[in-house]
Each structure stands twice: as C-alpha cells, then as structure tokens.
Amino acid sequence: MTRRQRRLTMIGGSLAVLAVAAALVLNAMRDSIVFFSTPAAVAEKHIPAGKRFRLGGLVQPGSLVRGEDLAVRFLVADDSATLPVSYKGILPDLFREGQGVVAEGALDTSGVFRADTVLAKHDETYMPKDVADALKKQGHWKDSYGAKAAGTPEKPGAAQRASQTDQAPPRADRGAIQ
Amino acid sequence: MIAEAGHYALVLALALALIQSTVPILGARWRDPALMNVARSTALAQLLFVGASFAALVTLHVTSDFSVVNVFENSHSLKPLIYKITGVWGNHEGSMLLWVSILALFGGLVAGFGNNLPLSLRAHVLAVQAWIASAFYLFILITSNPFLRIANPPIEGRDLNPVLQDIGLAVHPPMLYLGYVGFSISFSFAVAALLEGRIDAAWARWVRPWTLLAWIFLTLGIAMGSYWAYYELGWGGWWFWDPVENASLMPWLAGTALLHSAVVMEKRDALKVWTILLSILTFSLSLLGTFLVRSGVLTSVHAFATDPTRGVFILLILCIFIGGSLTLYAWRAPALKQGGLFAPISREGALVLNNLFLTTACATVFIGTLYPLALEVLTGDKISVGAPFFNLTFAPLFLPLMIAVPFGPLLAWKRGDLLGAAQRLVAAGVAALVAIAVLWAWTRGGSAFAPLAIGLAVFVIAGALSDLAERTGLFRLPLGAATRRARGLPRSAWGTVFAHAGVGVALIGIVCETTWNSEYIGSMKPDDVAVIAGYQLRLDGVTQRQGPNYREMVAQFTVSLDGERLSTMTPSKRSFTTRGSTTTEAALLTRGASQLYISLGETAADGAIAVRVYHKPMVLLIWFGPVLMAFGGLLSLSDRRLRVGAPKPAKAVRGLQAAE
C-alpha cells in the first residue's frame, strides 16, 4: 500500500467509527433523556400517563402518609399546584416535609405520580438544583434556602437517593463524593 | 499567626511561579544556561512554599483554630484527628490548595529528577508548569483564600459534612488529584515541544513514565471513589454516570489513549502529532473536570450566574489554557516531522484503533455530561442524562475495543499478521466459548447478554495470558527455559498482561453485579428473618451508642447459610448533632468476591425498622480489576527503560527498537 492509501484507510476507518458513535448518541438522545417538570408545569402541559419525567418541588408539610410495607404517599407542591406522589421503598435520609425533593417516574391513569426513584439533595441550607431554579423562577425563593448554596458550591450537599431495583438503572446525584 | 504565615507562603509561591514562568523562557531564547537553570531552583522553592502553606492549613485544622473561616465552616473540636486532617481538602478552598500543592510536587519532581533532560526542554516544561501554577495561585488568592479570619471567633465549628467523615476522604481526593494534575506534566511537555518546534527521542522517553504515573493514580482514585460511594451512600450503587464522576472518567479515557499512543511514538517515532494533541486534550479534560466540580455549575447554573467570581475565573483559566495550547498546536504542529510508516494491520494500527475507540467513547461521555448544561443555558429546558444514555452509547463503543485488546500485543510492529495472531488466540477463544456455554446452561432462560459479555471478558483475560505464554514459550519450550525467558521479559510486557487482564476482570464484576444482584427491601422487627440469595439474616436487636461527635443506632443481624451461623453484621444510622443530619453506615459481609450489604432506613412508630439488603455477586472484581490495571502500570513504570530519572540505558533493551 502506498502512503496515501494507508492514510485513506486510517481516515476512512476513523470516520466510520465516528459515524457509528454519532448515530448511537443521536439514538440515545431520543430515547433515554428525561425531562424535568414542576407540578404547575404538569398541570399545564398534560403530560401523558406512562411518560417518564422528573418531578421537583417541595414536600407539602403534613402530606406524608406511610402505608403498609414501606409504601408512602406525599404531595409535591410548588407555587400554584400540587401533585400526589406514591412511592414504595426507603426514602433518603434527607427526605423531609417542607424540603425540596426530586422524584423520577411517570403519571398513572388516575393522575398520581408513581415514583421509582426519590432524590433528596440538600443539607440544612441546600436544595436540589432543579427545585431551587424552579422556585426562583416563580419568585418563591426564600433567601434562607440557598444562602450558603450559592457561595459554597462545593460544600457538598449530602446527596441521597432511594430506588427500587427492577426499575431503570440507578442514576444519582452524588455531589458529596467527588 | 499560622494562618498569616500560610497566606504569605502562598503569595511567595505565586511570586516564584511568576519568575519561573518567564525567566527560563528568556534563558532558552538567549541560550543562557544560568537563566534556564532558574527554573529548577524556583520549582523546588515553590514546592517548599506551597508545602509550607498546606502544612499551615493542616495545622489550623488540627488545632481547631475557629478564628479561620475555613476551619470554622468545616471542622469541629470533637472530630477525630484523622477527619480533622482529611477535612482540610473536604471543602472548596482546601481542595484547591491540595490541587496546587500536587502541581508543585510534580514540578518539583521534574526539577529534581530531570538532570538528563536537554536543558532548554526542561526550562520550557517547568515554565509551562509555572503558567498553570500562577493561574491557580491567583485563583486561590483572589477567590478562595483558605486563610481568611473571622472578626469574632466562635467557640465551636460547624463540623464537616458527615458523609465526608470517612476514611475514603483520606485516600480518594489526593489520589484523584495526583492523577488529574499529573497529566499537567505531559501537557507541559507537549507545549514545550511545540514551543521548541521539535520532538526527539528524549521527549517520548520522558512523557511516557509521567503519563503512566498519573494514570496509575487516576485509575486507583476513580476505583476508590467508586467503592466509597458504594459503601457510604447506602444503596449499593457503584457508578452513577454523575457529571462529577464523568469529570474524572474523561481524563482517564484520554489518558489511557495517550499512554498507548506514547508507546508508538517511543518505539516507532510515529503518531507524534497525535500524541501531542492527546497530551493537550487529556490535561484539558482534567481542567474541565476541575471547572465542573469547582465552579458550582453542576450544583446550579443559577448559582453560577448569580455568584460568578469563582466559576468565571476557572472558566477563564480553562479558555486560556485550552484555547492557547490548541492554537499553538494548530500553528506549530504542521511543522513537526512525521515519522515511521506502518500498515493498518500492525501493532501501531492496533494502537491507533485503541486510540480511536477510547477517544470516541470519551467524546460520548463529554456530550452526555455537557449537553444538559448547554441545553439549559441555551433554552432553559432541564433534562437529565443518565445511565440509559451511557449504556446506549459508551457500552457499544467499548465492546469492539475489548474484542481488539488481545490482538494488539500479538501483532508485530510495522506490518502484522492478523491470521497468525488469531491462530495464537485460538486457546483464548475456546476458553471464552466454554465460559459462554457453561453460563448459558447454568442460567437457562436468562438473558443472553450476560454470558456473552462474560465470555468476552474471559477472552480478554485468556488473550492476555496467551500473549504471555507466547512470549515465554510456555508449553513449547521446557519449563526451565520458559521460566528463564519469563524472567528476562521486560517488565513493561508483564505490565501489559496485568493491565489488560484487569480490564477483563472488571468487566466480569460489572456484568455479574448488574445481572445477578438481588435485593430485599422491607421493614423488620427484632427476630424477623430476611432471606436473600440463600442467606438468612435475622435481626437480633437494635441498640443505641454514642460516638465521638454523633449518636448511633446500631442494628445487629445474624447471618446464616443453610441454618449454619456465619457471622454478624451491624449496619447503623448516625445522627450528627452539629449539622442535624444523619448518615447511613452500611454493613458489608464479604464472601469470596461477592458481598452481602445491609443498610438501614427510617424507624416506624411501632419499632419496625426499614431495611435494605443486597446480595452482590462478584462485586469486588469491579474494583479488583482497576487495582490489577494499576499494578500493571506500576510494573511497566519499573521497567528500567522507563524508570523515572533513570539514566539512558546503555544498550537497546530489545530488538524492538525502531529500525529506521
């Protein structure tokens, strides 16, 4: 082979691999990306039952009900709307009423959000990024929520999650350990 | 006093770094050895002063001097000594100080052991190191000074985040930084080569061991971090495709590619331009990782926008160094002489393939990590890209690479014989097929994916071993002769075998854990028994205990297998009064390479306690694989040809040296 042919082989091979990679990425982008929503946006957008998304907001104080066999129900609220959430499993250490939470799952036909993953990511001053941004947008941000968070991003907000196994593979917020 | 001294030492280090950034370059311009030698002394003095500054911060933490903001915010007088020390880098300011200390350490190593480097190359390398160092000293002094005082010192500190009060913090960040920052050396060498406009044999001989050293630390650091997350976060996951993890995975992938292309450059004088580019990219990805973790952009794009000083500063450093080095590359690289020719099927070709797949895989991680950030900045849409994305992109790219791994070392330089290599891999292929068949029969009806993936892993391991057998003449020659040849084999060849086998071992662990792990979640009262994977776990009771700076609720489980008592496990939940937060301490029971894992949830009103139990088959292989890889790297590093600072070997080690 001449130098030129060799070079063409190399370039051709590289382009082929890159094309495959690009196809894989585009395909994965279509299927495996999960959007974030707040209760108000859920009411507005009419998200169909069964479509996976992440729901973020504050756990409505007084709404947590524990059922049989680790089943829990609670309301996630934002400025204008609330959405009932049901979950079965162990809640993260940092899950508290009145605090921010992000749950991943889908709506069922009766309009209840069935979560298979619950994330709570905050310490006493810190809250999940998505929730904080959404609350700020709605003007519901209390300075006490994020007084520290903004200045000390590294202050590792303990990240916690709870999940049920046979669901989608784990995805976590792991700000704490880096 | 100590805080001020530490601060002052840091300022002096900056001054030294500024001298080191300029004087040696001028010296190289004017061909003045005295000026070029300034680099050596300033690099060593810089190390001394940063070391002093770091020691000052450690002292402040150990003596619990709460008049210093950093100590007040991250320490507590009751905290055990080890966490007082590790707490130094458990926060933003301290970890940046650790970052520059390690940078100075590497600079000092080059200065100390670089006596046989061409003088102007050493001057340039150390000057580039000093540019990086100056930028980060400025960053610390302007935006993240760890030595700030509080006007009215409080009596007690706010304590370190409980999740970080763990031995993992002592090991993981320093290891990771030794890896991240270690790549700065190959970056500096690359930029120095571009500045000088030439690369010679000394260049390649020098870059490889430094890259290898950084790579070993990064490998161990990532593995350690993964194990830490596994046992500390309490739900048994070991890799989350979280941006913070991806930030360390990207330099690892690029660094692995660099390691392999440096081999080609050293042995065959080919791929020079590409190796230079990879050196730049690898450290750029380390810088990107530092930016992602340190700027707060991951915590909240919003926080980044409202308090931009730190983020923008690092972003600026990022742009200057990445932009600058790539511009320099575009300008000077075409002038570098191209070297050795090779056929597509050859050892070089195999290494190019390795580079191609590793960098492409790295690119998919890059996209998955940065796309959500870019989308949020541009459109405001919030999305999360997680494991499903990476399973669909990263994994398919890694599979062909794994198939190719055993072939590489069996191909000859310049022009290889694929058929011959395949013949020599017949034994490995048979081993893989047997593994697939056995697993298939054993898991009848299960998914076909796991047996195939494990078969692939067996192929990689057996392939590495047959490479070894081939080189030593095992089974062909009498045992004595084979042993002699094994002893005479270069350490780097042994390193290849271990590192490649390590990849296979890790893959087995990953596949077994994800496919066959079992889980029990339920609420238990004393004397309840949970059954998982044949083990019976009986909750004996729950006790309260007082720790140094926390209260702890300990549950005791008796584990038995087929009615025979094996051991007890004691998971606990700790509440830290200072921060009002709780952590879950999982209990682990190791059985061979598998583990039982118990973590506790909340206690209900009737005294029942929520319990999560996992059985994780072969899970330890996930971390044993990287340890093997790092061990292989260490063997390769100890090869006399590459030993850091070793004088040039008197004669060529093998006949493999380029025959131009």
Q: What is the pLDDT of residues B532-590, one digit of tens each?
A: 988 999 999 999 999 888 899 999 999 999 888 999 999 999 988 777 778 889 999 99
Which of B218, B291, B389 to mutate against chain A (most A CBs within 10 Å)?
Answer: B389
Question: Which residues, at least 6 apart from A44, have a Cβ–Cβ distance to it below 8 Å?
Answer: none
Measured between beta carbons, which residues in chain B are less than 8 angstroms from residue A13? 344, 353, 356
Question: Does residue B412 contact residue B372 with C-beta atoms inside 8 Å?
Answer: no
Mean pLDDT of A56-84: 86
For CA atoms A47, A52, A54, A58, the dihedral sign is positive
Residue B438 distance to chain A (closest CA, Å):
26
Question: Does residue A109 contact residue A49 with C-beta atoms inside 8 Å?
Answer: yes
* Inter-chain residue contact A133 with B382, CB threshold 8 Å: yes
User: CA-to-CA distance for B121 and B195, rounded, in angstroms?
Assistant: 9
Residues B10-34 have pLDDT tens digits of: 999 999 999 999 999 999 999 999 9
User: CA-to-CA distance for B325 and B319, rounded, in angstroms?
Assistant: 10
What's the Cα-to-Cα distance from A142 to each of A55, A145, A147, rounded to whole Å?
20, 6, 9
Nearest CB to B164 within list A90, A130, A176: A176
Amino acid, res. B144: S
Work out the number of other CB atoms within 10 angstroms of the CB of residue B640.
Answer: 12
pLDDT for the residue numbered B28: 92
Question: Does residue B511 contact residue B454 with C-beta atoms inside 8 Å?
Answer: yes
Residue A102: closest CA among chain B residues belongs to which residue? Answer: B384
Question: Does residue B51 contact residue B101 with C-beta atoms inside 8 Å?
Answer: yes
* Inter-chain residue contact A29 with B521, CB threshold 8 Å: no
User: CA-to-CA distance for A175 and B225, rounded, in angstroms?
Assistant: 12
Q: ipTM of this model?
A: 0.78
pLDDT for the residue numbered B303: 52
- List the structure tokens of A48: 């169909």
Which of B177, B246, B300 to mutate against chain A (most A CBs within 10 Å)?
Answer: B300
Question: Which residues, at least 6 apart from A75, have a Cβ–Cβ distance to it below 8 Å?
Answer: A59, A60, A63, A82, A83, A84, A85
Which of A143 and A152 is assigned the larger pLDDT? A143
Question: Does residue B450 contact residue B515 with C-beta atoms inside 8 Å?
Answer: yes
- A residues 120-139 closer than 8 Å to B (CB): 123-124, 129-130, 132-133, 136
What's the Cα-to-Cα distance from B634 to each of B103, B215, B418, B631, B639, rounded to whole Å?
21, 10, 30, 5, 9
CATH for A34-163, among 3.40.50.300, 2.40.50.140, 3.40.190.10, 1.10.10.60? Answer: 2.40.50.140
A29 close to B (CB below 8 A):
yes
Nearest CB to B519 within list A66, A165, A176: A165
B115 DSSP 8-state letter: G
Low-confidence ranges of chain B (pLDDT < 70): 201, 299-307, 445, 640-660
Residue A32 distance to chain B (closest CA, Å):
5
- Helix, coil or strand: residue B476: coil
User: CA-to-CA distance for B556 and B565, rounded, in angstroms?
Assistant: 14
A11 close to B (CB below 8 A):
no
Measured between beta carbons, which residues in chain A are less than 8 angstroms from residue B357? 17
Phi-psi region of A46 (alpha: psi -120 to 50; beta: other; left: phi over 0): left
- A residues 138-177 closer than 8 Å to B (CB): 146, 149-165, 168-177
Q: Where in chain A is the domain with CATH 2.40.50.140?
A: 34-163
pTM of the shown model: 0.88
Which of B434 and A173 is assigned the larger pLDDT? B434
* Inter-chain residue contact A69 with B356, CB threshold 8 Å: no
Task: Write phi, then psi, for B20 (nearest 5 degrees).
Answer: -65, -25
- Helix, coil or strand: residue B542: strand
pLDDT for the residue numbered A147: 34
Diameter of chain B by CA atoms? 83
B97 close to A (CB below 8 A):
no
pLDDT for the residue numbered A139: 52
Average pLDDT of chain A to the nearest whole number: 71
Residue A39 distance to chain B (closest CA, Å):
14
pLDDT for the residue numbered B277: 94
pLDDT for the residue numbered A143: 41
Residue A24 distance to chain B (closest CA, Å):
5
Counting Cβ atoms within 10 Å, is residue B22 exposed (0-12), middle (13-18) or buried (19+)?
middle
Pair type for strands B581-585 and B587-591? unpaired
Residue A30 has pLDDT above 90, yes or no: no
- pLDDT-derived band at A168 (thresholds 50, 70, 90) equals very low
pLDDT for the residue numbered B451: 92
Q: Terminus-to-terminus CA distance in chain B, angstroms?
A: 63
User: CA-to-CA distance for B20 and B127, rounded, in angstroms?
Assistant: 5
User: CA-to-CA distance for B521 and A144, rounded, in angstroms?
Assistant: 36
